[in-house]
Structure 1
Amino acid sequence: MDHFSSRIADIASIYGTDTIFILGKGPSVDAISPDAFAGSLVIAVNDAERIAPADITLFHAAWVKEALIANGLRSRMYVTSTDFAPAGREVLRAPFMPLRNDQSDLLMQRFLSGSFVIEEVLFISALNLARQVAKARGRPQTVYMVGFDFLPESGASEAIEHDYAPGSSADRFFRISMQEFFFLNALYMLKESDLDVIHVGERSFSQITPESLNQRFYVSCTPKPSGRSPGVEITAELTTNHFGDRNRLERMIRAARAAGADYVKVQKRDVESFYTAEQLASAYVSPFGKTFGDYRRQLELDRDDFAFMDSLCREVGIRWFASVLDRPSFEFMLQFDPKIVKLPSTISEHRDYLGYVARNYRESVVLSTGMTGADYEEWLLGNFVNCKKLYLLQCNSAYPTPTADCNIAVVRHYHALAQKNPRIVSGYSSHDFGWLASALAIAAGGRMIEKHVKLGNTNWAHFDAVAVDLTKPDFREFVSKLREAEEMVGCGTKKVNASEHHKYLRVAA
C-alpha cells in the first residue's frame, strides 16, 4: 500500500462503522442534522466542510483556499493539487485532471481503473477515496451522497453565507448541470461493486429523503431542549479523548447528543503545576511528542476551545461541565459561569483545594468517590454545605472495574442520604464494561450516570479500554438500556395500571 492509500486508510480506521458520507453544498443538506455525520467518515468537496466537520476535504480550485481559511479549518486532512499548506493539518497532494469536452469517457475509465487523480467533477474523486476505504477495510461500504442536488437554480446551503466561487450564473448552471450526468453514470458503473451509493434528496434518482436519513441515524434536525427534567441524567465523559482537537471535540459532542446523553464532560487541569517536572519530562509515546509533558499539553482545551464548546452545546441542545482538577483551573472555569463542576476521585486527597471549592462555589458539585471510604463521605457532607446540589457518584477507580467491586449498594446508600437531604443527588460513575451495573444503579436510586466515551480506537490514550466507542452504535444502545431501566423502575407509587386487570372477579352472593 503506497503512502497516499495508507494515510486514507489510517483516517478511516478511526471509525467502527461501514458508513461514509460525501458532503456537497446543495440546499437539501440543510434538512439533515449534522449529528447524523458524527460517527462516520466524512469526505467533503470544495468548502463543504463549512456545513459540518469533515475528515477529508478534497479540492483543486484556488478559490477554495480562501474560503477554507476565512471560515476556519474543519477537516483532519486535505487532498489537493494546490500549494495549500495550513499549519497543523495534514495535506496529501494529487494531480488535477481538467475535464475536456471530448474526454468524458476517459474520466470514467480513470475512475474504474482505481488510480487516483483529482477530477474536475470532484465527487468522482470522493467516490474513488471511498473505494480505497472499502479496499482497506476489506468489506463493502455504504456511501451517502448529501448536498448534491444538481439544481443550480436552487443555490447553496444556508451555512454558505458567502460563496467564494468565481464565475457567472451561466458558468455555474453549466458546471452543476453537467455533473448529474456523471453521477448517474457512476451509479451504473458501481453496480455490484464494493460501494452501495445512496443519493439523499428529493430527486427522481434519490433513494431516501433527508428526513429519512435523520430517522435512520436517530437524530432530529431541530435541536433538543437542553437537558431532561425530571429524570436520570446521563453524562458522556469525554475525558481528554478529544486530544485537544476541536474537530474531534465537535464530532464527539454531536455523537453524544445524537445518542441521547444529557451532558458531555471534559477535563481541565493546569499541566505545569499539576504534574512534577520529572513527570512531565518522562518518556511517553504519542503523536504529540516524546514526553508525557508533550502529551498532556496537547490535550488541554484553552479559553477559545471552551467558548467553542459552550456555543456548540447550546446550538445542538446538550449541557456540558468539566472535571476541574486544581485551583488555577477552577478559577479559569469561573469565566464561563458554570452551573456545575466535578471534582473527580483522582484528587480526593487534595483536601486544601476541595475545601477551597466548598467555601467559594455556590452552584452544583459532582463528586466521584473512587479510592475513598466512609471518612471521605463524612468530610464531604461536613464541608460542601453551601452548594446548590451535591452529586455523590459511587465509583471504583480501576479501569476496568471488576464485577465484584462495582458495589452498586453504595448508590442505594447515597439515595437514602438524599431522602434526608434533598440537596444530595445519588449516582454512579461507570468504569465497568457494558450497561448492566449502570442500570442497576438506576434501580438503586441513581439519578446521574456517567460513562467514558471515545471516538474510535487509540491505543496510546488513557482510559481507552473502558470507553464506549461513539463511532459505533454502542453508546446509543447504552443510553437506550438506561432509559428502559429508568422506565421500568417507575415512580415508586403503588397504583393500578391500565395494562392490568382482574382475571377472577369476586361474584356477589
Structure 2
Amino acid sequence: MDHFSSRIGDIASTYGTDTIFILGKGPSVDAISPDAFAGSLVIAVNDAERIAPADITLFHSDWVKEALIANGLRSRLYVTSTDFAPAGREVLQADFVPLKNDESDLLMQRFLSGRFVIEEVLFLSALNLARQVAKARGRRQTVYMVGFDFLPASGASEAIGHDYAPGNSADRFFRISMQEFFFLNSLYVLKESEIDVVHVGDRNFSQLTPGGLNQLFDVSPTRRKRTLASSVEVTAELTTNHFGDRHRLERMIRAARAAGADYIKVQKRDVDTFYTAEQLASPYVSPFGNTFADYRHQLELDRDDFAFIDDLCRELDIGWFASVLDKPSFEFMLQFDPAVVKLPSTISEHRDYLGYVARNYRGSVILSTGMTGPDYENWLLANFVSCKNLYLLQCNSAYPTPTADCNVAVVRHYHSLAQADPRIIPGYSSHDFGWLASALAIAAGARMVEKHVKLGNTEWAHFDAVAVDLTTPDFRDYVVKLREAEEMVGSGIKQVNASEHHKYLRAA
C-alpha cells in the first residue's frame, strides 16, 4: 500500500494546481471544454478516458479492457482488479469488493476508513484517490465531478459512440440510479474532509453548471478560430515542462492550440554526451531521482513520443519543431523529415555542430541569438547559405530578461537584412514577462515570436518562473495581444481606408 500511495503522489506531483477532475461518461460532459482539464489531475472511471486523456483510470469489469484497447490507451496509470496488462502502460492491482444487497453500510464504512479498494461504485474509489492526493500534497483539494448525471435514460457522452458495457436497460437503470444515493451520502460525509467535492451538472444538488465550469477556467466548449489572416507565427515553447510525461505533453499541445498558437516547440538532446560525467552525477532534487542525470533522462522524449507529437499536431492542425542541441539528436530527428529545426542560443559556441547542420540540412533553420554579437551573425550568414529559410530571433538569454536588455530594435536590423535576402525571417524569442516586448517586436518586423509556457506552478521545474501558465488565461491573452499588434501594424501600404472621411471638403 505504501508503494501504491507513493505512486499516486508521484503522478500528482507533476501538477501545480490544487484541482482534481473525476471523469464520468454522462452527456453533460459534452458541454465542457477539454481545455478545462489541461492543468489538473484527471481520474477517469471505466472507459471515460475516451472523452479526454486521463492520468489514472479505475475499473474492475472485463468489458472495459476491450473498450480501452479498441479506442487507444489514453491514461498514464491503470488501477484495476483485472489481468489488464497493456504494453507500455503502468498498471497497479487492487482488490475489488462487489456490492451486495445488504452491505451498503459496509461500503460507506470502508470509504470513511480510507482503505483503498475498487468499489462497485467506482467514483467512491476515485474520491478515495483524491483524498490520497490531498494528503500527499499536504493541502485541501477541490474535486470536480464531471459526467456523473445519474440519469440512465440520458445515455452517454457523444465521444463514447459505441458502448461496450453489457446488460439490458433495466440493469443500466438500476446500476446508475443507485449511484446517486451513494454520491449524496459521500457529499455529506466529506464536508469536513481533505477535499471539497463540486458536482458539475444541472441537477438540484449540482454546485456548478458545465457553462459555469468553462467560465471558471476561462475556456470555450468549442475551439476558438482565428479570423485574422496572420503572417506572424506564434510559437508556444514547451521547453521540457512536459516532464517527459506524454499525457502532460498532450494537454500542453491542446492548450497551446486552443490559445491560438501556430507552433509548439520541444527540445532534443543526447543527455549522456551533451553533459559531462560530473554534471550528470551532481545532486539534483526532483521527483525523478537524486541526480541531474535522473532529472535530464526523464525529460527527454523518445521516438514514440515524437511520433505521438507529429500525429497529434496533424490532428489539431498546429505545427511543431524541436530545438536540436547536438549532432546525435539532429541525426535522430531526420527520421521525421522535419521542415524546420531550431538551433538555440545555448549552443552558439558549438560551431562544429552548427556548421555540420549548415552543410547537411536544406529545410528552414531557426536561430535564437542570445549571448551573441555581430560576429555570430556574420558567421551564420556566411555558413547557412543552403537552408530554405533562416529565422533570426532576437533573444536575451536571462530568465527573466530585464526590460532594458530586451533590445527589440535588433529585430528591426534583422528586418533590414531580410530586404536584401528574402530567405531571412526576423523574429523575437521572449524571455521577458508579459506581452509588450513581443508586440513591439512585431511592430519592428518580427514574423515569428516565441514564448515559454508551462502547465501549473512546479517549484523544481527548469525556468518555470518565466513561462506563461497554460492553466490560466495568460497565454491566450498573450496571443490576443499579439494579433491586435499585428492588425495595428497593418500592411505598410499607404491607402485611404473606409473608416476615414474628410471633415472639410473643398467646394468643386
TM-score class, shorter-chain normalisation, is 0.7 to 0.9
Equivalent in the alignment of 2:504? 505
What are the residue-to-residue correspondences of 1:213-362 with 2, within 5 Å? Answer: 213=214, 217-219=218-220, 221=222, 230-362=230-362
Equivalent in the alignment of 2:392? 392
Percent of pairs with identical residues: 75
The CA deviation at 1:497 is 4.0
CA distance in 2, matches of 1:254, 1:92: 31
Contact 1:43 1:55 in 2 (8 A): yes
Equivalent in the alignment of 1:435? 435
Equivalent in the alignment of 2:419? 419
Contact 2:116 2:128 in 1 (8 A): yes
Contact 2:266 2:322 in 1 (8 A): yes
The CA deviation at 1:356 is 2.2
Contact 1:396 1:406 in 2 (8 A): yes
Task: Quickly say closer, same or farther: Cα 1:5–1:325, change in 2 above 3 A.
Answer: closer
Equivalent in the alignment of 1:198? 200
Contact 2:443 2:486 in 1 (8 A): yes
The range that moved more, 461-470 or 50-59, is 50-59
The range that moved more, 59-68 or 478-487, is 59-68
Equivalent in the alignment of 1:364? 364
The CA deviation at 1:137 is 8.1
Q: Deviations over 1:377-401 (max 9, x none)?
A: 1111122222222111001112222
CA distance in 2, matches of 1:505, 1:408: 40
The CA deviation at 1:171 is 2.8
Q: Deviations over 1:450-485 (max 9, x none)?
A: 111122233333222212222222222222222222
Instruction: Report whether the alignment pairs 1:401 with 2:374.
Output: no
Contact 1:32 1:214 in 2 (8 A): no
CA distance in 1, matches of 2:113, 2:282: 49
Q: Could you say what secondary structure the match of 2:331 adopts?
A: helix
Instruction: Report whether the alignment pairs 1:39 with 2:26.
Output: no
CA distance in 1, matches of 2:277, 2:113: 55
CA distance in 1, matches of 2:221, 2:317: 11
CA distance in 2, matches of 1:224, 1:310: 21
Contact 1:28 1:157 in 2 (8 A): no
CA distance in 2, matches of 1:215, 1:258: 16
CA distance in 1, matches of 2:282, 2:191: 54
CA distance in 2, matches of 1:200, 1:57: 25
Contact 1:16 1:472 in 2 (8 A): no
Task: Quickly say closer, same or farther: Cα 1:204–1:144, change in 2 above 3 A.
Answer: closer
The alignment covers a number of residue pairs equal to 503
CA distance in 2, matches of 1:99, 1:483: 56
Q: TM-score, normalised by structure 1?
A: 0.82
Equivalent in the alignment of 2:448? 448
Q: Could you say what secondary structure the match of 2:200 adopts?
A: strand
Contact 1:14 1:457 in 2 (8 A): no
Gaps of 5+ in 1: none
Contact 2:348 2:372 in 1 (8 A): yes
Gaps of 5+ in 2: none
Instruction: Report whether the alignment pairs 1:145 with 2:146.
Output: yes
Q: Deviations over 1:215-248 (max 9, x none)?
A: 97434646969x9853221111111222222111
Equivalent in the alignment of 1:22? 22
Contact 2:47 2:67 in 1 (8 A): yes
The CA deviation at 1:322 is 0.6
Equivalent in the alignment of 1:458? 458
Q: Could you say what secondary structure the match of 1:58 adopts?
A: strand
The CA deviation at 1:301 is 1.2
Root mean square deviation, CA, Å: 4.1
CA distance in 2, matches of 1:285, 1:342: 29
Q: Deviations over 1:307-332 (max 9, x none)?
A: 11111111122111111112222222
